[in-house]
Amino acid sequence: MPEIASAEGTIPPLDSTIRSSLLPFDARTYAGQVAYRFTLLNVPAFGVSSPLEFVYVESHDDARYLDAHDAVSSYGALWGRLQAAALGPVESREFLAEAAEQMGW
């Protein structure tokens, strides 16, 4: 994985366990209009229990945990649309490298 150079040195390559995908401003999906933050969480269970799935949603004045199946499914579908519209990992790295070059890093 390439390193990005800067005036202060180099930025080390991303950890292989992290996948970065950029969502372009001109992405053709209404999911790109999302103006709030959400996190999908899946806590594996052991034994006879089923996994715990929930969504943490943040806005400028509130935060909520949602565990209703319909809400988790809806946010899962939204995440899928965001991933589909985003650049892939290779394209995202290339985009970042080009942006860093344009900025003189």
User: CB burial class (10 A; 0-12, 13-18, 19+) of residue 38?
Assistant: middle
pLDDT of 11-64, one tens digit each? 555 556 677 788 887 877 765 556 678 999 999 988 888 889 999 999 889 999
pTM to 2 decimals?
0.68
Check residues 15 and 77 and name the one with the higher pLDDT.
Answer: 77
Whether 3 has a pLDDT exceeding 60, the answer reads no
